[in-house]
Amino acid sequence: MNHVEEMLEKASDICIANGSRLTDKRRQVLSILLNSKAAISAYEVIEHFQKAFEESLAPMSAYRILKFLEQEHLVHRINISNKYVACAHIGKEHSHELPHFLFCEVCQRVEELNEKRQQNEQLRSLIEQTGYTLASSQIELSCICSACQSSTG
């Protein structure tokens, strides 16, 4: 079993444990994101779906599926770019309380960091001490990855 198939099986188990189902279309959309090297938009998901499965996927269906996968913590929406990426920790012990992402502005690649619960609690405490309220449930840092740095340098 390859890595993507293994992740899809774990995702299916997560859905069952949460009382939901990873339907065929949801599985297909998740497989597109798992195979993607970079974050992709909903419309790019639709294009990849058409090519991979020779079937159309309506925009509303794509957004509904992506929302479902996001609620199940199987994908993340990257707000900086309004694109989606598969969770890097499917089936692993991992907190989705305050995920951290490094987003390459050049190639759109995303790296999900394995943050520590204690660090999140300290950060939340610091935010509260300043009188602010956290408005987003994730941290996104706009960066340039090492591959893009070396290709432009």
Q: Are 62 and 101 in contact (CB under 8 A)?
A: no
pLDDT at 98: 78
Q: Are 10 and 18 in contact (CB under 8 A)?
A: no
- The predicted model scores a pTM of 0.86
Handedness of CA 47, 41, 112, 138 (dihedral sign): negative
What is the spatial distance between Cα 81 and Cα 19, in angstroms, rounded to a whole number?
Answer: 31
pLDDT at 89: 86
pLDDT at 95: 61
Q: Which domains does the chain have, with CATH numbers?
A: 3-86 (1.10.10.10), 100-152 (3.30.1490.190)
In single-letter form, the type of residue at position 146 comes to: S
What is the spatial distance between Cα 35 and Cα 149, in angstroms, rounded to a whole number?
Answer: 23
| Block mean pLDDT (10 aa), the chain, length 153 | 92 96 98 96 98 96 98 94 93 73 93 78 88 84 93 70
